[in-house]
Every structure is written in C-alpha cells, then in structure tokens.
Structure 1
Amino acid sequence: MLMPMMSLKTSSLNNTLFMKTISYITLIFLCTNFSLTAQEQWELIKDKDGIQVYLEEEGTYAFKTFKGSTTIDASIHDFVHTIFDLERYPDWGHNVKSAALLERKGDTLQIYYSIAKAPFPYKNRDGVYRNKFSWNPDEKELTVSIEVLDDYLAENEQYIRVSGNGYWKVKVLAEDKLDVIFLMQVDPGGAVPSWLANLFVEDTPFKTLTNIKKTIDQHKSKTNHYSFLD
C-alpha cells in the first residue's frame, strides 16, 4: 500500500512543480512583452484636419523621432507614383528645395539627392536618401523604408549633411482609401541644438502629410500602375 501512495504524492508534486513553472514562464513573457511595448511610447502633440502627429516620449536620440498618421482617398498605385515622382517632391515634402534621382532599380529601390531649406542664419541641409519598397500582399500593406546614406556622395561645403532613417507604412483599407503612417528620426547636423530643433519637429509630419494628400489628389490617374503591388 505504501508504493501507490508514494507514487500519488510524487505525481501530485510533479504537477504542482509543472504548474508553477508554467506560471513563472508566463509571468516572464508578460513582463518582457510589456517592457518591449513600453520602449516605444508616443505623445500625441497635434490632431488637426484628420492628421495626428506624435513624438517619441523617451528615445535614445537627442533629436526626437516623429510619427504622423492620416487617411488618404487614393489608390496604393497613386501613392507609390507620388513617391517616385521626384519632380513634384518639393510640392509636398516640407521645406524640400529640390530633389534629383541618383539611382533606381525597378520599382523596389530609389536613391535620390535632396536639399532642404533651413531658416536664417543656418545653412541649408542636404542628404542622399534610399527608399526601399516592400509589399505584403496578405496584409495589403506597403512599407517604404527610408535611410540617409553617409558615403554615397561627397559632401558639398555649401550645405550641412543630415543623417537619419524612417519609413512610410501604407495599408489599403479599400480600393481608394489608405491608412498612412510617416515616421522619421533625423539629425540635422551642424550647430543646431537639439532642444531648438525639437521645438519645430511637429511641422514636418503635419505639413508633409497635408501636402502629399493635396498632391496625390491633383495627380490621380488610372495609368499609375505598379506590377509589384498586384
């Protein structure tokens, strides 16, 4: 009779240890998941005309990361056409003075040089930007990753070279309805103090999204078609 009782106690002990282990692992997972989520905390600083602008509350950079979101009444093809059309980039990119194509590989990569206007007495800024286009057909979501390339082009003494990265995320909600997110972290370079640059950081996402909506609306066309989006 002793052997079955010992077996029962051992089994019960094993079950208890198993449940405690599972609870511990679950707790670690929840805490880790919370920690990862907490790393990206956004403060809503502007909500106007259907555009929301956020700043990262606690980032690792001196210059704050911004994020703008809105909806655009257009097709995904119209959006991509606008990004590729560098001739019209100054029409919608906030403070963009000019842009010139340096390299393009099909419909998945675009490298261009751009000059941005800076207020007096600061020098204008310039940079070489690489856009990589990737399409998720299951989610119907486009990601355009943006990276400022450091060594692609020699620096011009007339300008201050910027650095940074970001992305566009565009999700198709309906045939002519897009959910758009624009995120960037940019170091303007030179002697601009971070606290001063951060005071004006909300203008870039708000005005860029305001202007790109207008530009897309003015140049919609059924001929704007990109096969990688099919």
Structure 2
Amino acid sequence: MRQTGAHGFKGWASVISGVICALLVSAMAAATARAALPAEDSEAWSLRKETGNIRIYTMDQSDSSFQAFKAEALLDAPIESIMAVMVNPASCMEWLLNCTESYGVGKGSFHERYAYSVNDMPWPVTDRDYVLTIRTRGNEASGEVIMEMNATPGLRAENSSRIRVDRSDTFYRFIPEGNKTRMIWLQHTDPNGALPGWLVNTLLIDIPVSSMQELERVADQDNYQGYNLIYDESGRLVDVRQPDGN
C-alpha cells in the first residue's frame, strides 16, 4: 500500500509538473505573440490621416482593445541630426508629445540601453510611466538605422503616483534620402488601468503627427548639428557622436 501511495503521489506530481510546464510554455508563447508588432507592409493598415508629408495608419489588434499605429514621414533633417536626438535619453521631453520626464537608467551600451520616461495624462487620469529597453542597430551599406523599444517594467521600482505600463512595443526605421530622413514608426501600447480603448484610439493620430513635426524642428537646433554615424570595420553602427567626441 505504501508503495502504491508513493507511486500515486509521484504520478500526480508528474502530471502537475507537466501542467505547470505547459502553462509556462503557453505564457511564454503568449508574451512573444504580444510583443510582435504588425508588419510594415501589412495590407491591414488603414490610412487615417495625411497632413503634409506625414501619413498615419492604424490597425486593430486581436488581443487588445488598443490599436497599433504606423506613421511615415520625410523629415527635413539629415539622419545624423535625427539620430543625435534619438540617442539622447533626455530628448523624449523635447519632441515626443506629453513626455514630461526621461532619462537613462541602469548599465547599457550603444546597442542596448535602458530608459525611464513619464507620459503626462490630463486630469483626472493618472500619469503613466515606462521603463524601456532600447536596441539600436545600423548598416553602413544601406545607411538605415533601426531602433526598437520594449517595455521592461521590472527594471525599476514602481511609483505609487503613476501607473506602470508593462506592454509597449515601438519600432523606428530611419532611411537617409540626401539631406532628409524618411522615418517609419510603428507602435502598440496598452496603457493599463481603466482607460477605454475607443478613447485612447482617438488620440493615436495626434501623437505621431505632433511628435514627428517636433522631431524635425528639434533636429535642426544647433546642439544637434555636426554629429556623425560611426561604423566599425564590418559596417555595423557603433555610435553617434561629434568628431571631437563630445
């Protein structure tokens, strides 16, 4: 009887262990699926606004009440100046709509670094904050630079006066076209808390339009001039800096 009980316990333990493993695998798969942004060239994008040289598209997400957006624009600024803005951890406050606080956190490198930012929300809605992993890569042959940002909430303790966003994925592609830069921006964010999807979705148009216009303006400022894109022997982007190293 003791042996039967032992075998029974081991049998149930094996079943429970298998269920836990299956749940973990399912959770990991779901997390991977949530992190995936729609393809740039998907036919499901719906053009919502075209103003000047900026076009804004949106797309419903099957696992979220919040839409993803895609923004395309030809910015009147060279890619060197645009990237000088983008690699500055505090520049979020200069060009991104409603970004009121931003700075680098933790240890990182040019290719993978971390930043904290706050998104101001109109009263009585609670402000949202983000901890982001930022990955940057570029290729000298094509001249393109890609930046990807993903919410990594556990890297920093939460602030009781703000709601931490734990699901946000952003993709930027920068393509040099002479002295101008073509920018493609994809993003999907779940802002957490009691915010209706329809309300957030109505704001998705203004955010990239205003932000891209500001990015173009900020990149023209004196403090973002004179930068170079630095590549290693294999043509991989390794830095964005001024010739004197400042």
Deviation at 1:44, TM superposition (A): 0.9
| Counterpart check, 1:172 vs 2:176 | yes
Given that residues 84 and 110 in structure 1 are in contact (C-alpha distance below 8 angstroms), is that contact kept between their aligned partners in structure 2? no
Residue 95 of structure 1 corresponds to 98
Change (3 A) 1:59 1:179: farther
Which secondary structure state, in structure 1, belongs to the residue aligned with residue 90 of structure 2? helix
- The 1:88–1:161 alpha-carbon spacing in structure 2 relative to 1, beyond 3 Å, is same
Count of matched residue positions in the alignment of Structure 1 and Structure 2: 193
Rounded Cα–Cα distance in structure 2 between residues aligned with 1:60 and 1:111 = 27
Instruction: Tell me the percent identity.
Output: 23
Please tell me the residue identity of whatever aligns with 1:79: I
Q: Distance in 2 between matches of 1:39 and 1:74?
A: 28
Check 1:111–1:38 CA distance in 2 against 1; reply closer, same or farther (3 A cut). Answer: closer
Superposition misfits of 4+ residues, deviation over 3 angstroms: 36-40, 57-60, 103-106
Runs of 5+ consecutive residues of structure 2 not aligned to the other structure: 1-38, 232-236, 239-246
Matched, 1:118 2:89: no
Among 218, 221, 228, the residue aligned to 2:225: 221
Query: Is 59-68 or 118-127 further displaced after alignment?
Result: 59-68
Partner in structure 2 of residue 85 of structure 1: 88
Residue 205 of structure 1 pairs with residue 220 of structure 2 = no
Gapped regions of structure 1 (runs ≥ 5) = 1-35
Q: Compute the displacement of 1:75 (Å).
A: 2.5
Contact 1:59–1:65, Cα closer than 8 Å, also in 2: no
Map Cα deviations across residues 56-90 of structure 1 (whole Å, 9 max, x no partner).
15554221001111112322221121012233321
The structure carrying a bigger helix percent of its residues is 1
Q: Which amino acid aligns with 1:164?
A: S
Shift of 1:200: 1.2
Q: What is the CA-CA distance between 1:227 and the residue it aligns to?
A: 1.2
1:103, 1:111 within 8 Å by CA — same for their partners in 2?
Answer: yes
Once the two structures are overlaid, the 10-residue window that deviates more, 144-153 or 50-59, is: 50-59
Deviates more, 1:148-157 or 1:72-81: 72-81
CA contact (8 A) 2:61 2:68 kept: no
Bigger radius of gyration, 1 or 2?
1
